[in-house]
Amino acid sequence: MTFAARANRNVVTGGPVSGSATLDAVSFYATVAGTVTLNTNGTMTATDNGLTQSLSTCSPNWYSPTTIGIGSSYWVKFTLDTGNAWDSGLVNNTVYALSSARALTWTTTSIPGTKAATATARIYSDAGGTTLVATVAITVDLQSATI
């Protein structure tokens, strides 16, 4: 019996990655804003202005390895699953090209105040939003409080 090596014809060098983003912040005596952004190079950021506690994170990026301009080949649709709608950003359930950075922002509007939500960013390889290639689960827990 003999064996021969075959070339691997299905080498994948990179692609969209499913992940999560969490906005988790508390501020005393100040309103809190948190933003999740999917950037054109495949990175993802979660930022907030939490003055007392800031635990906002993302893991991993939405594309690996990150690549300059990769967003021009992908589209995203953000969907509110539960809780408070975002205060600025994009229209719920609408497909947008990732050739520009796309962001959602939640902001507490009173002290004390809370914004809590779950949302999903669905990433597609087509403008019609039919070929789903990755998802990002977004969790929001923002609190402005008094002592």
Residues 90-115 pLDDT 10s: 999 999 999 999 999 999 988 899 99
* Angle (nearest 5°) at CA 47 between 51 and 110: 50
Q: In the chain, how many domains are there?
A: 1
Residue 112 falls within a domain, yes or no? yes
Contact 120, 138 (CB under 8 A): yes
Separation of alpha carbons 56 and 64, rounded Å: 21
Assess whether pLDDT exceeds 70 at residue 3. Answer: no
How far, rounded to the nearest angstrom, does the alpha carbon of residue 78 sit from its chain's CA centroid? Answer: 9
Separation of alpha carbons 94 and 13, rounded Å: 30
Residue 140 falls within a domain, yes or no? yes
Separation of alpha carbons 146 and 110, rounded Å: 11
Domain span including residue 141: 15-145
Residue 92 falls within a domain, yes or no? yes
Residue 64 falls within a domain, yes or no? yes
Residue 43 falls within a domain, yes or no? yes
SS3 72: helix
Comparing CA positions, the residue from 95, 96, 98, 100 lying closest to residue 73 is 98
Residue 4 falls within a domain, yes or no? no
Residue 28 falls within a domain, yes or no? yes
Residue 65 falls within a domain, yes or no? yes
* pTM of the shown model: 0.86
66-89 tens-digit pLDDT: 999 999 999 999 999 999 999 998
